Each structure stands twice: as structure tokens, then as C-alpha cells.
Amino acid sequence: MNSPVSPTAAAGSELSHLDWLEAEAIHIMREVAGQCSRPALLFSGGKDSICLLRLAEKAFRPGRFPFPLLHIDTGHNYPEVIDFRDRRAAEIGERLIVRSVEDSMARGTVVLRTPGESRNKHQSVTLLEAIEEHGFDACIGGARRDEEKARAKERIFSFRDEFGQWDPKNQRPELWNLYNARITRGENMRVFPISNWTELDVWQYIEREGLELPSIYFAHRRPVVRRNGLLAPVTPVTPVQPGDVVEDLQVRFRTVGDITCTAPVESAAVSIAEIIEETAITTVSERGATRLDDQTSEASMEQRKKEGYF
């Protein structure tokens, strides 16, 4: 799965854009290791966290990762992604901690308003519980600034208070590559090593490094229904509603996450190269094409981040 020769522009005096982004991300991860005492790396099996895992290998091999992998599972994830998550964690020989929104529901710390409500935003509660349980002082995540305008203004080392809240008006200045990860007990850092990557950079890096992905990132046939201009997958947790017209389409996922809020796009792309070609010419943003939850209000991501979301 790993390409034998990873191209590096060390030949010239200029780094390629992927070399530069990779070097920056490695530097950020090593700062976490150097400054924080109990970090964790959020690994969901999605493409951004697959890049994080590769970057962690580049940052710390031949040593072990100085942090465990952590996944907050809504219980509504695609089985292909969960299988991939477990297999990949075992292959690289690092410890994977899974904490489940369903456990928070059983404890009563997550209460759904309706049984069918998306569990996506409730991940914040389970994440904060996992942070408290393990005493994590930093959580490394795969969020990118190009995803959303609230993220465009977030720091690489993003300070969260003991409620996990992000305060956009009170962020620490971040200069040069001098990151300040100092916190007091109970507070937490969220760290985003691929802040400066775009969706296209992620795909190009996956291609260059020859990284394996869950199968649902590639074109496959799947029953879907059309909702608000998006394709909604038909699954046991998202069953057909009265009036829905089910179509069997060739689709792929640009982003994978909770089934109730991640939509596939029509595509015939069966290789990374074909995905890159589609990404380069697409006319719809990643979240615009795939998120069934971000459209509810213009500021929904900003609101969720203030509540402790990544």
C-alpha cells in the first residue's frame, strides 16, 4: 500500500506544494508531541484522517506514535469505513480508542429530541467525555480551512475552554511557526496539521503516497433518493420516506461521516486519478455537495464549533 519511492523535491532548492504542506504538517505534529503531555489523534477512517495517519508515520517512525488514535463513533457510520478504520489501526500497530455516542445516550448525557435526529452534532458531547476520561490535553484533527468560513479563521493550535468551546473573538495570535500549546488543567487544544490543505491537495497527497481508502470513496452503485438537490443514501438508518423515488445510481462519497448527514455525489470515478480530475473541475464545494446538515443556517458550523465541535 505504500509507494516504494515517495517523490521529494529535495533535488531542487524548491519544494513542491505537497512537500511543503507535508513538512508543515509534520512540524505541527512534532510540536504537539513536544509541548503536550497527553495528546490523541482523531482517526475516523475518512480521507483527511487517513492523511493524518500517514503524516504521523512520517513524523515519528521508526518510533511509535506519541499518542493513541481516537474515534468518536455515532453508531451511524458506513460499515466499510469502520472495517477500514479497525484494519488500518491494526496494520500500523497503534492503539485505537473508540468511544460511542450510543454510550453517551445510554448514560443520558446525549438526549435526542426525536429518535430519527442526526447524531452528528452530539459527537461533541462524547468527545468531551473521552477527553475527560483519558485526560487528553490535545486532540489532533483533520479539519481544513478551505472547508468552511468559520474554519478559515481558526488557528492551527485552537484553544478550547473546559466546555470545549471555541471563542472566535478570543483566539491566541499565531505567528511564524511558534505555536503556543500551553493550557491549564481541564482546558484543551485542538490541533489541525492540514489546516492549509484544500480538498484537491488531500487527493493529490493520497495519490502520491499511494494511500488506501475505504471502498465507498470510489464509484459504486447505491440506492439513493433526491432531497434538496442532494443525493440521500437509502440505508437502515435513513429509510425511504413516503413519496420518495428510489434510484439506483453510480455514486461516490467525497467525504464520509455520519450516514444521516453525508451525501454521495454521482460519479464514475474508480481511481484516485479520476477523482482528482473530477475535483479539479467540480463546480460545487465539498460541503455544498455532500453535507445534509450545514445548509440549515449560514452560521451552523460556527455555532457547532462554539459548542465544542471540531
Subset of residues 192 to 221 that bind other proteins, contact rule: CB under 8 A: 195-196, 198, 200-201
Residues 6+ apart with CB under 8 A from 42: 49, 52, 69, 70, 71, 72, 139, 140, 141, 142, 310
Cα-based distances in Å from 185 to 37, 132, 139, 306:
11, 10, 15, 20
Q: Whole-angstrom Cα distance, residue 150 to residue 212? A: 30
Residues 281-300 that bind other proteins (CB under 8 A): 282-285, 288-289, 298-299
174 binding other proteins? (CB under 8 A): yes
Dihedrals φ, ψ of 253, to 5°? -95, 135
Q: Which stretch binds other proteins (CB under 8 A): 42-50, 133-141, 247-255, 277-285?
A: 277-285
Residues 134-173 that bind other proteins (CB under 8 A): 145-146, 149-150, 152-153, 168-169, 171-173
113 binding other proteins? (CB under 8 A): no
31 binding other proteins? (CB under 8 A): yes
Q: Whole-angstrom Cα distance, residue 92 to residue 13? A: 33
15 binding other proteins? (CB under 8 A): yes
Angle 177-166-187 from CA coordinates, rounded to 5°: 80
Which of residues 241 and 295 has its CB atom nearest to other proteins in the complex?
295
226 binding other proteins? (CB under 8 A): no
191 binding other proteins? (CB under 8 A): no
Q: Which stretch binds other proteins (CB under 8 A): 56-64, 105-113, 214-222, 248-256?
A: 56-64
266 binding other proteins? (CB under 8 A): no
Q: Which stretch binds other proteins (CB under 8 A): 59-67, 114-122, 256-264, 270-278?
A: 59-67
Q: Which stretch binds other proteins (CB under 8 A): 62-70, 100-108, 123-131, 251-259?
A: 62-70
59 binding other proteins? (CB under 8 A): yes
61 binding other proteins? (CB under 8 A): yes
Report residue 226 as a C-alpha cell.
433526491
Which of residues 133 and 298 has its CB atom nearest to other proteins in the complex?
298
13 binding other proteins? (CB under 8 A): yes
Report residue 257 as a C-alpha cell.
461521516
For the sheet containing 265-266, what is the strand order? 230-233, 220-227, 247-252, 265-266
Q: Which stretch binds other proteins (CB under 8 A): 26-34, 101-109, 124-132, 261-269?
A: 26-34
Identify the residue among 7, 79, 116, 186 touching other proteins (CB under 8 A).
7
Total residues contacting other proteins (rule CB under 8 A)?
73
According to DSSP, residue 280 is labeled: H
1 binding other proteins? (CB under 8 A): no
Q: How far is the CB of 51 from other proteins (least distance, A)?
A: 14
Report residue 91 as a C-alpha cell.
496494520
Strands 265-266 and 247-252, bridge-based pairing: antiparallel
Are 71 and 97 in contact by the 8 Å Cβ rule? The answer is yes
176 binding other proteins? (CB under 8 A): yes
Greatest pairwise CA separation for the chain in angstroms: 62
Q: Whole-angstrom Cα distance, residue 305 to residue 124? A: 9
Cα-based distances in Å from 74 to 78, 81, 113, 121:
10, 13, 16, 9
6 binding other proteins? (CB under 8 A): yes
Which of residues 100 and 303 has its CB atom nearest to other proteins in the complex?
303
